[in-house]
Structure 1
Amino acid sequence: MLVAGDVVTDVVARHRGPLAAGTDTAAAIRLVPGGAGANVACWAAHQGCPEVRLLGRVGADTAAWHERELTASGVRPRLVVDPDAPTGTVVCLVDEAAAAERTFLTDSGASLRLAPGDWSDRLLDGVTRLHLSGYLLFSGVGRAFVAVAVAAARARGVPVSLDPASAGFLAVLGVDRFLALAEGVDVLLPSRDEACLLTGLPDPADAAAKLSRQFALVVAKLGRNGALVARSGAVCARVRARPAAPVDTTGAGDAFTGAFLAALLTGAGAEAAAADGCRAGAVAVTHVGGRPLRCSP
């Protein structure tokens, strides 16, 4: 599998209760590797996907660190070092008093500067699926990159999956524009909010069903409410979430996506793959950061 998307540095700040405006709020703060694309790749490798490659763009400031972290997670990184922009940084504010719900402050940096010139059709050699992080669609060069990558994948018969990535950025981009840019994608993996935003429907089941008229397979991630699988205009499966005591919900959707895609690639059906995704999401929220924990040597 080849994943193309964002590689960022996450600053995770866990606090309890409302932020105190104009003064200090006590928090436990950690610096961890992140990025939706990178997280998905790490979870897919963790779940047994035979080979996971990642194409991303980073700054020279942390390129070596990110390459080491990805390699240690079983991912084969191809990181383009941007000469003009630093690695993207996301400040994740995690409210421990609100079921570890998180709010993001995002400086995309080099991550959204992945451009058509960074693509080579040789990247698809031996690849059986291309997965794209939706964050790429939120910059002009990223949109051009997606068009080139999808066209190359379609020409080779390689299926393409896409995670819309951010309801906030999606609202700015525009629904019609997103759906046009996603032409040629086989599998769409939206969150509840993204699915509802993309359709204008308040019920995620109705939203997933509607989206599945454009995409061959839609898997809507509902967090603690599990997931929905939809095909051909109808929901065909509802998958329950696994119980978990959340510490940090950052990257839970990425964990779902990585595990889901790994299961598909190893022969599972969509419903069984979604169950794997729910299990991975439940594990992801029990520790800080959006990547799977690695065993100490």
Structure 2
Amino acid sequence: MSEVPQRSRPQPDLLVVSRVVLDDLHRRDGRVDAGILGGSGFWAAFGAALVLDEVAITCKVGEDFEPYRAQLASLGIRDDGLLVSGGRTSRTRVTYSGEVRSEEPIPDWDAHVALRTMPSEFTAGVRRPLSYYVFRGWHPGFWEAFTSERLAGSPVLWEIPGSVCFPSERERIRMVLDSIDVLSINRDEAVSLCGDGSPDDLIAELHELGAATVALRLGSAGALVSRDGRIRAAAPPPGPEVVEVTGAGNAFSGAFIAEYARAGGDLDEALRSAMAAAAVAIGQIGPPEDRPLARSSWRRYREQIGVTDFREGDDGRTA
């Protein structure tokens, strides 16, 4: 395993702790888009890089990832946190059949897990970021090491994996929530963890579990963010065509913590930036061509997004 030499750079504004994979998209019409940059880590970094200039990812990639480094750079994403391990980068087969979307790790889930990094493996150039995005479940020893190593005062968003959102995991989730600043979760995951209920009921349950700030993603109905008893709401901006939803939630979460860190915890600004990032992510197969183009769309969408108080009892299914 090796670290690619890099020129000296400042520590990142935000470090994404999650995987980059290559997606093979099998569309409903039979067409296949192969080898597209993907994974929760990539899309979170994409969203964050719309907001901040210095965004890095930490994970392991294969030797075959080399041609993709230029694409990361064009999108404003640093590669100095990547470690080269083995010949092949993990892939995900994304298949659409009717209204059903499925994902299959290639060659298998164990190969995906092997490309995660532990805090002891973070490269020197990214070890002291100003903020963190984390997508991680119960990887042995990770949370203990991360809590010990993270830079004091640097805000952390945890985008909780759906694979741990079950009532049986509540105590382990509570322990993580004690050490992070923002929980990002979608409605299905919240229902799986807390039971069915209105968005405000779900948010109340998540606060009771220990989340200081909750970002509840509602898909086409927008998103809610809650802290200190106040819930704020935003609907998607008008206009973007939904071409491919892969990565939208990750882009939302990456942009949310990036703006949260930049704006000193301002939830309205974070929610507005996050909704705009998700809108950019869904507008094409894979990411846009480069960061200037993506930022232009992001700024335009951001200007169209209003943030309001959430009406108690709203079911979250309408914008």
Q: What TM-score range do you get, normalising by the shorter chain?
A: 0.7 to 0.9
Alpha-carbon deviation of 1:188?
A: 0.6
Alignment correspondent of 1:145 = 142
User: Secondary structure of 1:190's match?
Assistant: strand
User: Among 79, 82, 101, which residue is 1:79 paired with?
Assistant: 82
Alignment correspondent of 1:207 = 202
The separation in 2 between residues aligned to 1:247 and 1:93, in whole angstroms, is: 14
Instruction: Please say if residues 57 and 110 of structure 1, whose CA atoms lie closer than 8 Å, have aligned partners that are also in contact.
Output: no
Q: Does 1:5 align with 2:18?
A: yes
- Map 1:1-297 → 2, pairs under 5 A: 1-16=14-29, 26-45=30-49, 47-60=50-63, 62-77=64-79, 78-83=81-86, 86-95=88-97, 98=99, 102-106=101-105, 107-108=108-109, 109-112=111-114, 113-119=116-122, 123-125=126-128, 127-134=129-136, 137-140=137-140, 144-153=141-150, 156-165=152-161, 167-168=162-163, 170-171=165-166, 174-213=169-208, 214-232=210-228, 234-243=229-238, 244-267=240-263, 269-289=266-286, 291-294=287-290
In the superposition, relative to structure 1, how do residues 145 and 121 fare at CA in structure 2: closer, same or farther (>3 Å)? farther
Alpha-carbon deviation of 1:119?
A: 3.4
Unaligned runs of 5+ in 1: 17-25
Unaligned runs of 5+ in 2: 1-13, 294-319
Amino acid at match of 1:226: G
Alpha-carbon deviation of 1:264?
A: 2.0
The separation in 1 between residues aligned to 2:280 and 2:77, in whole angstroms, is: 20
Amino acid at match of 2:243: V
The separation in 1 between residues aligned to 2:278 and 2:262, in whole angstroms, is: 19
Give the RMSD, CA atoms, in angstroms: 2.8
Identity %: 26
In the superposition, relative to structure 1, how do residues 157 and 10 fare at CA in structure 2: closer, same or farther (>3 Å)? same
Instruction: Please say if residues 40 and 255 of structure 1, whose CA atoms lie closer than 8 Å, have aligned partners that are also in contact.
Output: yes
User: Secondary structure of 1:274's match?
Assistant: helix
Q: TM-score, normalising length from structure 2?
A: 0.75
Moved more, 182-191 or 68-77: 68-77
In the superposition, relative to structure 1, how do residues 103 and 258 fare at CA in structure 2: closer, same or farther (>3 Å)? same
Alpha-carbon deviation of 1:41?
A: 0.9
The separation in 2 between residues aligned to 1:147 and 1:123, in whole angstroms, is: 19
Instruction: Please say if residues 15 and 56 of structure 2, whose CA atoms lie closer than 8 Å, have aligned partners that are also in contact.
Output: yes
Aligned length: 272
User: Secondary structure of 2:51's match?
Assistant: coil
- 1:61-119 Cα distance to aligned partner (Å, 9 max, x none): x2313433322221122112224x84221111235x64xx6321124425554234313
Alpha-carbon deviation of 1:159?
A: 1.6
Alpha-carbon deviation of 1:171?
A: 4.8
Instruction: Please say if residues 188 and 217 of structure 1, whose CA atoms lie closer than 8 Å, have aligned partners that are also in contact.
Output: yes
